[in-house]
Structure 1
Amino acid sequence: MSAGARPTGAATLLVIAKEPLPGRVKTRLTPPFSPVEAARLAEASLADTLETVLTLPARRRAVVLAGAPGPWLPAGVEVIPQCGGGLDERLAGAFGACTGPTVLIGMDTPQIDAAALAPALHDAAWDDCDAWFGPAEDGGFWALGLAAPDPGLLRGVPMSAPDTGAVQRARLIAAGLRVRDLVRLRDVDTAADAVDVAAAAPHGRFAAALGRLTGPGAR
């Protein structure tokens, strides 16, 4: 798809990600996978996610990256350097780099498709709505959209906890925002997650990478 043919929309679409380096990404996949194998799965997940992002309507598409871009970065996606600090600070920094409606997703849900994000990206997505929230099955969240990005809505939210999503959504409500929910998705943290997510998107790079690592003769 050429740059001119990419669909336009009202929102900025961000993907927060780490450079897929062994020992730095998907560490909860080790074991059963080695750090190198976990990094391959992370790269495939990120590539699938960015490929989907290119098909979605947006006025700006960017990866908020810790590390350096690699061959997995497609044309049409800009790079915003990730700030330091805990995950709450890094998410806050990502929103702080934007103006206007902004939707942020992670690199751990390679099964996302247009339908999952469509409610937050169509022309009327922000009518009578201030925030979109995508809950994750592990208690976190896989997507967050804000009509008016405010880093303070994320700072101090405890991350990687069973109640992360509940606390974040409550923070939005307490700020007086009108919140709408996206579908609940499973993100990839463990080997069991990887199997289920690959089954949900069997034709993607992530499923292919997992198949190469777990198929007959792989080990």
Structure 2
Amino acid sequence: MTTLIMLAKECVPGKVKTRLSPPLSLTAAAEVAAACIDITADAVDRFGWTRKVLCLDGTRLPRDFTGWDIVAQSDGDLDERIAAVLDACAGPTVLIGMDSPQLDRGVLNLLSTEWPDDCDAWFGPAADGGFWALGLREPVGDLVRGVPMSRADTGAIQLERLRAAGLRTTLLPVLRDIDTVADLDAAAQLLPGTLLAEFADRAGAAVRAGVSTGDVVTDFADCASLADRAEAS
């Protein structure tokens, strides 16, 4: 069995998903972040884990996390925060982010069960050059500590770090983080009927109604009003 860690930020306007604004407001962008966490946590809850850990930057929870251990992220840069929570775990451990809620349920099923004998690590690359998942049979923070984060070569450096340590590493599918409106649209195509899809649809309607990139969509009420304008034109 495997410990699952989700790394997340509290969904405070101006702190999360700021690249979605404009055309979304900072408040709406925070709602998108909360939806990402909710969808990801719901997917995780469908499978059996030794332990589920929410490693949170902040204190406000966007949903009920009954059955999860909630721990605060440590101080320091992102590599240090990831390293610290890995060092606090024992046995097979997988860390995922909150930014890729379109992750395949089959992948979660694979990660939550017994790992193949020939796999020491799982690595999920992100389309922007980072990574969305890191699994270690023996969680050791030094495998991440010192890797430069939020760069186009972050994933390549991290993968090389695993391989240089002699870990037999299995690649997971490439996923696209939700950072921009284009990312939101792409994820919405894979998640019909979700809050993310609704935001993408209504924001798209707002753009078709003539909202410039200098304007913002503040909330769902504004989105609905603009959508009505688009349909009437």
TM-score (norm 1): 0.90
- Counterparts of 2:95 and 2:196 in 1: how far apart (Å)? 20
* Residue from 11, 16, 19 that aligns with 1:20: 11
State the secondary structure of the residue aligned to 1:100: coil
Provide structure 2 residue ranges, at least 5 long, that are not aligned to the other structure: 207-221, 227-233
**Alignment partner of 1:182 is 2:176:** no
**Alignment partner of 1:135 is 2:125:** yes
- Counterparts of 1:100 and 1:194 in 2: how far apart (Å)? 34
Q: Deviations over 1:73-125 (max 9, x none)?
A: 332222111111111111111211211100010000111232133332222x1
Corresponding residue for residue 88 of structure 2: 97
State the secondary structure of the residue aligned to 1:116: helix
Corresponding residue for residue 106 of structure 1: 97
Q: Deviations over 1:28-65 (max 9, x none)?
A: 11222111111010001111111111012211111100
Alignment identity in percent?
47
Alignment of 1:16-165 (within 5 A): 16-123=7-114, 125-165=115-155
- Counterparts of 2:98 and 2:87 in 1: how far apart (Å)? 19
TM-score (norm 2): 0.85
Corresponding residue for residue 171 of structure 1: 161
Corresponding residue for residue 207 of structure 1: 197
Tell me, yes or no, if the aligned pair for 1:48 and 1:206 is still in contact at 8 Å: no
Mean CA deviation greater in 164-173 or 24-33: 24-33
**Amino acid of the structure 2 residue aligned with 1:75:** T
Provide structure 1 residue ranges, at least 5 long, that are not aligned to the other structure: 1-9
Mean CA deviation greater in 84-93 or 200-209: 200-209
Aligned length: 209
